[in-house]
Structure 1
Amino acid sequence: MEGGLLSGARAAVVDGPLPGFHPALKQALTFPLAWGRSPVRDPRAWRRAARATVEEHLLVERQDGVPFAPEFTGRVPGDGYDRELVTVSLTRWARVRGALLTPHGRGPFPAVLLLHDHGSRFDIGKEKLVRPWYDGTRLASASAWAGRHFGGRFPGDELARRGHVVLCLDALGWGDRGPLAYEQQQALAANLFQLGSSLAGLMAREDERAAAFLAGLDRVDARRVAAVGFSMGAYRAWQAAALSDHVAAAASVCWMTGLKEMMVPGNNTLRGQSAYCMLHPGLARHLDIPDVASIAAPKPMLFFHGGRDTLFPAEGVRAAHRKLRAVWRAHDAEERLWTKTWPELGHVFTREMQDEVFRWLDDVL
């Protein structure tokens, strides 16, 4: 029936469920502000206009004037680096605790804003990427996560060993700021929407601020700050590069697609829940997902994907890569964009992938 829900066998594979008129809504999305469709033909002017559009849809105002007021714990020696905790005001509403790793030697050093994934695992956030020397109760969960997704390695510790300052903080709902239960995500997002705010917008603003804080540390070379993430952290990484002038480069592992290609029956994004962490209401009327990432051009950017990653259908990844390449080409900077699909891999960030990212960071920073 016109306007009704999908019925029968098709409904069984939709977690939404989607309304019967959803194909018409998808067809209506033409992304009129995308590069090549936008009336703005100068790539730098397009970047400014597209960024302003994204800013408008975050629903959370900029927090630039809020003092960071950092509080540091004492440093604990690690293997070639020192570890400390830092508590900082990313917004005027909350203070956030993060792990800060500093290489031994004389700085200033290149730095990495390391952004954790979603994974429907909320008891650990920063601990997914940095070994929790400060809390033995989380070590088992963190080690299991590293074994499942990162080849048994904590990427943050490895980056610090290789000479990078590393900052990793909890997003709202994870680690020290949680833990959420899976079914609570939708309620959290709904309540923020009721308050005229946005969970995804808050995360974007906090990541911007974290990049600014990291770049402002005396131990950091502010010209050499990268954002790196896996899964939801990969989304956050390219988003931070698009929105923050403090991020000089970004490596995104397992999160890039076209919106229409992702929104197909059976895809995880149709369930709501985790999708609200990456959903800016109304933005799709103007820009596709890779269009937003392309605001980062001509910065050096890396996008890795697993060919067996069921979260991101292959056609969506290919469509996104085509869009990305067109924008970097318009900036005469196509050599700064590195896209690669690992055919045999799923939704993981293996040691081999990590090593390629680390070598790439050495080159671009």
Structure 2
Amino acid sequence: MTRRTRWKAAATFAAAFAAASVSATTAAAQDYQRHAIDGNLPVFAPALKARLAFPLAWTPAVKDLPAWRAAGRAKLWEVTLQDRDDTPFAPQVIAEIDRGSYVARQVVFNLTAVSRVRALLLVPKAKGSHPAALMLHDHGGRFDIGKEKMAEPWGDEARLAASRTWADKYFSGRYPGDELARRGYVVLVADALGWGDRGPLTGDAQQALAANFFNLGSSLAGNMALEDTRAAAFLASLPEVDRRRVAALGFSMGALRAWQVAALSDDVTALVAVNWMATTDGLMVPSNNQLRGSSAFQMLHPGLLRHLDFPDAASLAAPKPALFFAGAADPLFPLPSVQQAFGKMAKVWQAWHAGDKFDTRILPGGHAFPREAQQQAYDWLDGQFGRATKP
């Protein structure tokens, strides 16, 4: 091959290589994300979900259960972004009404160092110390009533009418708090931030409120968790209450609050959670509320799911007596995911040798706490507290 021929061959190869490089570069330039959001999720959500290993969840390898619980509780408190609060409660009764076997009071007290609130307190007339229940109201997208969803109000006709509508819709026309008071329980129910006295809040405003909690170095969901532990401590401190028998009972968002406060607080000794439990994976499905923001901000702690799934966090309440209800046709909590969560929690109670203290029941209906379920819950609670059940 002559020098000229070699030169032409080299030039041809160089031109071909350059053309190929341009073609490859052009192809690479076209290979990028054309859209990144799909159904309120980033398109790489499956990759993020795959990283959720929940390393603080209980496993059979756990040998020191108290140490495991302490570590889990410490992490749960950490992600609430809340400071310890030992503010004196300084309670004051501002109104009272006789309801036969019990009295209903409006009591004002320091829920935290920065929030003094009005709550409803139902107290049996019988002498002695009584079992007690911290009643935790739901979300429901209705903010004009909060505590009035769980206990009958008085002195405000608009709230009374709204509360009766709520009771008819979800509780078979009953007030869960008043039903327990008739059974001899001291009952406390307060407004969560945004509801009742502590509004006004709207569904659309929840995202801004949550963002501004973050702007203030705090958390909306964490504030709720702190307030619920404080309410439990206040209830347990009352002279009418047997502090060994203090239950947390809630429906819907209130159910999450019930198992959460039982996990965080030694003042709560039993829990009843109605219609809020599932795995994260089971909740992250199209159309589920968990993916919509709004109410989800009330129930999500930043970073929690890097450490514990929802049933793992609830299991920190073990070995306390715990009763969980779910609706077979509840559109918010898919039944397979609920059953998976229940199975996971049951193993933790069994590890504590307290399997008989963990009970789950699937209701035939949807998202409600009907009369029959209430009867089951109250009979179960009486049994856990060593009381004879009442009809």
TM over 0.5: yes
1:4 aligns to what?
Answer: 35
Instruction: Decide whether aligned partners of structure 1 residues 105 and 191 sit closer, same or farther in structure 2, where only a CA change above 3 A counts.
Output: same
Q: Does 1:229 align with 2:250?
A: yes
CA–CA distance in structure 1, aligned partners of residues 63 and 41 of structure 2: 36
* Corresponding letter in the other structure for 1:183: D
TM-score by length of 2: 0.89
Q: Does 1:354 align with 2:368?
A: no
- RMSD in angstroms over aligned alpha carbons? 1.2
CA–CA distance in structure 2, aligned partners of residues 273 and 338 of structure 1: 31
Select the residue among 174, 178, 184 that pairs with 1:163: 184
CA–CA distance in structure 2, aligned partners of residues 86 and 230 of structure 1: 23
Superposed counterparts of 1:261-276, under 5 Å? 261-276=282-297
2:93 aligns to what?
Answer: 72
Q: Does 1:178 align with 2:214?
A: no
Q: Does 1:25 align with 2:48?
A: yes
CA–CA distance in structure 2, aligned partners of residues 320 and 101 of structure 1: 34
User: Which structure has the higher relative contact order (CA within 8 Å, separation 6+)?
Assistant: 1
Equivalent position SS for 1:269:
helix
* Corresponding letter in the other structure for 1:162: R
Residue 133 of structure 1 deviates from its aligned partner by: 1.5
Equivalent position SS for 2:374:
helix
Residue 179 of structure 1 deviates from its aligned partner by: 2.7
Instruction: Decide whether aligned partners of structure 1 residues 19 and 331 sit closer, same or farther in structure 2, where only a CA change above 3 A counts.
Output: same
CA–CA distance in structure 1, aligned partners of residues 337 and 195 of structure 2: 29
CA–CA distance in structure 2, aligned partners of residues 2 and 307 of structure 1: 40
Superposed counterparts of 1:1-365, under 5 Å? 2=33, 4-6=35-37, 11=38, 14=39, 17-36=40-59, 40-63=62-85, 65-342=86-363, 344-365=364-385
Residue 316 of structure 1 deviates from its aligned partner by: 1.3
Equivalent position SS for 1:75:
strand
CA–CA distance in structure 2, aligned partners of residues 303 and 2 of structure 1: 43
* Corresponding letter in the other structure for 1:53: K
Moved more, 298-307 or 79-88: 79-88
Gaps of 5+ in 1: none
Q: Is the 8 A contact 1:301 1:337 kept in 2?
A: yes
CA–CA distance in structure 2, aligned partners of residues 303 and 62 of structure 1: 29
CA–CA distance in structure 1, aligned partners of residues 167 and 119 of structure 2: 18
CA–CA distance in structure 2, aligned partners of residues 308 and 206 of structure 1: 32
2:7 aligns to what?
Answer: none
CA–CA distance in structure 2, aligned partners of residues 305 and 33 of structure 1: 25
Structure having the higher Rg: 2
Q: Is the 8 A contact 2:95 2:107 kept in 1?
A: no
Gaps of 5+ in 2: 1-31, 386-391
Q: Is the 8 A contact 1:3 1:20 kept in 2?
A: no
* Corresponding letter in the other structure for 2:187: V
Equivalent position SS for 1:90:
strand
CA–CA distance in structure 2, aligned partners of residues 75 and 20 of structure 1: 56
For residues 188-220 of structure 1, give each alpha carbon's deviation from its aligned partner in whole angstroms, at most 9, with x where no partner exists: 001001111001100000000000000000010
For residues 237-284 of structure 1, give each alpha carbon's deviation from its aligned partner in whole angstroms, at most 9, with x where no partner exists: 000100000000000000001011111111111110100111100010
* Corresponding letter in the other structure for 2:79: H
Q: Is the 8 A contact 1:2 1:21 kept in 2?
A: no
Equivalent position SS for 1:130:
coil
CA–CA distance in structure 2, aligned partners of residues 190 and 197 of structure 1: 9
CA–CA distance in structure 1, aligned partners of residues 45 and 326 of structure 2: 28
CA–CA distance in structure 2, aligned partners of residues 310 and 137 of structure 1: 30
Q: Is the 8 A contact 1:200 1:278 kept in 2?
A: yes
CA–CA distance in structure 2, aligned partners of residues 297 and 4 of structure 1: 44
CA–CA distance in structure 2, aligned partners of residues 356 and 73 of structure 1: 34
CA–CA distance in structure 2, aligned partners of residues 318 and 218 of structure 1: 40
CA–CA distance in structure 2, aligned partners of residues 230 and 242 of structure 1: 17
CA–CA distance in structure 1, aligned partners of residues 226 and 235 of structure 2: 14
For residues 39-98 of structure 1, give each alpha carbon's deviation from its aligned partner in whole angstroms, at most 9, with x where no partner exists: 6432121111111111111101121x2111111124310031101101111111111110
Equivalent position SS for 2:112:
coil
Q: Is the 8 A contact 1:3 1:21 kept in 2?
A: no
CA–CA distance in structure 1, aligned partners of residues 95 and 158 of structure 2: 20
Q: Is the 8 A contact 1:4 1:21 kept in 2?
A: no
CA–CA distance in structure 2, aligned partners of residues 145 and 44 of structure 1: 40
Equivalent position SS for 2:187:
strand
